[in-house]
Amino acid sequence: MPHDVSLIATVAVGFALAFPFGFIAQRLRLPPLVGYLMAGVAMGRFAPGFVADNALTGQLAEIGVMLLMFGVGLHFSTGDLMAVRGIAIPGAIAQIIIATSIGTVMALSWGWSLGAGLVLGLSLSVASTVVLLKALEERNGVTTPNGRIAVGWLVVEDMVMVLMLVLLPAFAEVLGGRSQLPVTGTANLGLLASLGLTLLKVISFVVLALLLGPRVMPWLLRQVARTGSRELFTLCVLAVALGIAFASARLFGVSFALGAFFAGVVLNESDLSHKAAANSLPLQDAFAVLFFVSVGMLFDPSILVRQPLMVVAVLAVILLGKTLAALVIIMALGYPLSTALTVSAALAQIGEFSFILAGLGVTYHLLPVEGLSLILAGALLSISLNPLVFAGTDLLVGWSRKVGWIKRHLEEKREARFRRLQEDLEAAREASASKAAAHKSYSPEELAERFPLFAGLTTEQRETVTLHFEVRSAQPGERLIRVGDKADAVYFISMGQVEVVVGDHKIKMGPGDFFGEMALLSGQPRSADVTALDFCKLLTLSRRDFRELLRRYPGMRAPIAAIAKERSETNRLIKEHPSAD
Ligand code: CMP
């Protein structure tokens, strides 16, 4: 080859193999993710033929993790989490503790170190959000209460794991590993000091992100969206996601994943978050595929033959240990059996965080490479079996509803609790919907319907226009424009009535009308008083944005100028003939 094309080769072969494998998996009714992992196995050093560049794939995978976590952050709903906190927070934490303990004891019985046991246990205790979301999507369960409990549960798990990822380097040495990565720069300090420093960095990052982020980021996104360039908008989203992730890793020593997650959380507050999610999704999908391929590449299939019992033990922890723990916890918290069964089924798999954690464990010499292979085997098998687990759960739920005693004691008596949670979730949904409505002015279709003036623009152009609007309300009697003032904005009435006073004439205007354009067009002071007659909702366009609008869509100038001309003509007549009526 003429020059080094290993990156191109890795990406090309990665996609080229992931596609057919993913397709076959889908045909076999397995999540495509299993196919991507298998494609990775086929590309890895343990399989014959083409061997991809491990280091490069590792970095591509990391981009995948960053984008995945960014996506999780973008969809993370604090309201939902608050609604399910009573079950998700104690449940996830207790389940992590139980599963980690089982994993650790198991590893110790194999003669592994405590550190190796902890990493293995933690890796087995966390389920994959990606797998869960895909499974719920397939079953139309994302918005059901049980689905939202499961998602909230996993968000808590993810947060605990992010904390573990941050703490692991600080603890590595104590646990018998080697702290050799320069990222945190705390290798020479004592444990407590390095732990404190790490926590301090994380906290300062989180505080900074949460304080500055919601102010700066939505504003930035809005400015970019207002340019009307889709490409610039996508670029801005990516720059924010990867930029924050990278900078936070560099400056604060927190993981890329955490940085990206918070970039998502921060943008999540913005009314443009849906657009941001939609625009970054294709890239997120593509790199997520590379992530799973790269994980597959590390997998050594011979482990299945060499250590079948260990694989079975690991699988048992994932499929039984974890699920039973979750089942018992949810029942103990007083929720119905059907909820406990569904949420437990959702947890019976491991995925991306386990790989990240295990990978880090290997880097710090805590976990033997064998451990990584075991975790990968556990992930591959449990993800493949997940649809079966769900099907089994459905059967169990159906059966439990038929058995009188179970129905009475484990379902009906616990209904009240479940219903309360359902109400909380509903309230959270309503709160976020009304928050979105308060931010939102109009959809492109509504804009054209309400203001025919904009009907001639394309949907995208109308979307850009709506981004320039500020929503404002007015009380009855409130004066919106005073004659003689300098022009600052033009007003579009979306609700209520206003009155324009010219001489002794009063002209009423209502929804769909606009005013305040004359002074802006002529450069003269305001020509009349305008007062709200009842409670009004108005969309305003600042002088600058109005000029920008006319410059960008020249076709709009003529109809607006015609109306202004007609109005000033009327006013001239009124002034010339004061008692005209
Ligand atoms: P402007 O002069 O910027 O501020 C007052 C606004 O009242 C003016 O723009 C028009 O939008 C509106 N206006 C003035 N005269 C009339 C009229 N005769 N009929 C309807 N609207 C008017």
* pLDDT tens for each residue of 394-419: 999 889 888 888 888 778 888 888 88
DSSP code for 10: H
- Residue 378, exposed/middle/buried by CB under 10 A (0-12, 13-18, 19+)? buried
- Distance between CA atoms of residues 57 and 297, nearest Å: 9
Question: 141-176 burial, b for 16+ CB within 10 Å, e for fewer?
Answer: bbeebbbbbbbbbbbbbbbbbbebbbebbbbbbebe
187 and 122 Cβ atoms separated by less than 8 Å: no
What mean pLDDT do residues 351-376 have? 88
- pLDDT of 195 reads 75
- SS3 of 281-302: the string is HHHHHHHHHHHHHHHHHHCCCC
In the prediction, which pLDDT does 204 show? Answer: 85
Residue 560 beta carbon below 6 angstroms from any ligand 1 atom: no
Which atom of ligand 1 approaches the CA of 525 most closely?
A: 2
Q: Is the pLDDT of residue 72 over 80?
A: no
pLDDT value at 468 more than 80: yes
Report the side by side order of strands in the sheet with 489-495. Answer: 470-474, 536-542, 489-495, 514-515
Query: 66 or 185, which is more confident?
Result: 66
Show the beta-strand stretches assigned E in 516-577: 529-532, 536-542
Q: Is the pLDDT of residue 330 over 60?
A: yes
pLDDT at 102: 96
Whole-number Å distance, alpha carbon 515 to ligand 1 midpoint, is: 6
Identify which has the larger pLDDT, 129 or 522: 522
Cβ–ligand 1 distance for 88 under 6 Å, the answer no
Q: Could you tell me if 217 and 240 are in contact, meaning their C-beta atoms sit under 8 angstroms apart?
A: yes
pTM exceeds cut of 0.85: no
363-368-370 Cα angle (round to 5): 120
- Amino acid at residue number 372: L
Burial class (CB in 10 A: 0-12, 13-18, 19+), 227: middle
pLDDT of residue 184: 45
Ligand 1 atom closest to residue 514's alpha carbon, by position in its atom list: 11
Contact between 312 and 382 under an 8 Å Cβ cutoff? The reply is no
Q: Find out whether the beta carbon of 514 lies less than 6 Å from any atom of ligand 1.
A: no
Mean pLDDT of the chain: 86
* The pair of three-digit structure tokens given for residue 252, joined into one six-digit string: 């604060």
- From 147, 162, 152, select the one nearest 68 (Cα to Cα): 162
Give residue 497's pLDDT: 95
The C-alpha atoms of residue 469 and residue 222 are separated, in whole angstroms, by 11
Task: Say if residue 529's pLDDT is above 80.
Answer: yes
Pairing of strands 505-509, 470-474: unpaired
pLDDT band at 580 (very low <50, low <70, confident <90, very high): very low
Over residues 290-321, the pLDDT tens digits come to 888 887 887 888 999 999 999 999 999 999 99
Atom of ligand 1 nearest to the CA of 570: 18
* Average pLDDT of the residues in 546-558: 91
CB–CB of 119/361 below 8 Å? yes
Ligand 1 centre to CA of 465 (Å) is 22
Q: What's the distance, CA 15 to chain centroid?
A: 24
pLDDT at 161: 86
pLDDT digit string, tens, across residues 39-64: 988 888 777 776 777 778 878 888 88
Q: For 516, left (φ over 0), alpha (ψ -120 to 50), or beta?
A: left
Could you tell me the two tokens for 322? 């974890």
Mean pLDDT value across residues 365-381: 91
Q: What is the pLDDT of residues 248-267, one digit of tens each?
A: 888 777 678 778 888 888 88
pLDDT digits (tens, 9 = 90+) for 99-136: 999 999 999 999 999 999 999 999 999 998 878 877 88
DSSP per residue, 203-267: HHHHHHHHHHHHHHHHHHHHHHHHTT-HHHHHHHHHHHHHHHHHHHHHHH---HHHHHHHHHHHH
b/e map of 546-563 (b: 16 or more CB within 10 Å)?
beebbeebeebeeebeeb
Burial of 497 (0-12, 13-18, 19+ CB in 10 A): middle
* C-alpha to C-alpha distance for 164 and 198, rounded to whole angstroms: 11
Highest average pLDDT, of 197-206, 260-269, 317-326, comes from 317-326
Greater model confidence, 186 or 501: 501
Predicted local distance difference test score (pLDDT) of residue 178: 66
Q: Which one-letter DSSP state was computed for residue 488?
A: -
In this prediction, residue 436 carries a pLDDT of 67
- For residue 181, pLDDT beyond 60: no
* Distance from the alpha carbon of residue 460 to the mean position of ligand 1, in angstroms: 30
Q: Is 498 in the pocket of ligand 1 (CB under 6 A)?
A: no
DSSP letter, residue 112: -
pLDDT tens for 480-490 read 999 999 999 99
Higher model confidence: residue 137 or residue 510? 510
The per-residue pLDDT for 283 is 86
| Residue range 419-446, pLDDT digits in tens | 888 888 888 888 877 776 666 667 888 8
Residues 456 and 475: their CA atoms lie apart, in Å, by 32
Model confidence at 93: pLDDT above 80: yes
CA distances from 79 to 128, 217, 533 (A): 22, 20, 37
Q: 321, 127 in Cβ contact below 8 A?
A: no
Report CA(136)–ligand 1 centroid distance (Å). Answer: 55
**Is the C-beta atom of 262 inside 6 A of ligand 1?**
no
pLDDT (average), residues 174-202: 66
Using alpha carbons only, how large is the chain's radius of gyration in Å? 30
Whether residue 63 contacts residue 243, with contact meaning beta carbons closer than 8 Å, is answered with no
Q: Whose CA is nearest to atom 1 of ligand 1?
A: 516
Task: Please report the pLDDT score of residue 96 as a whole number.
Answer: 96
Provide φ and ψ at 357, rounded to 5°.
-65, -45
Q: Give the tokens for residue 277.
A: 């999610």
Ligand 1 midpoint to CA 449 (Å): 23
In angstroms, rounded to a whole number, what is the distance separating the alpha carbons of residues 469 and 335? 46
Q: How confident is the model at residue 186 (pLDDT cuts 50, 70, 90)?
A: very low
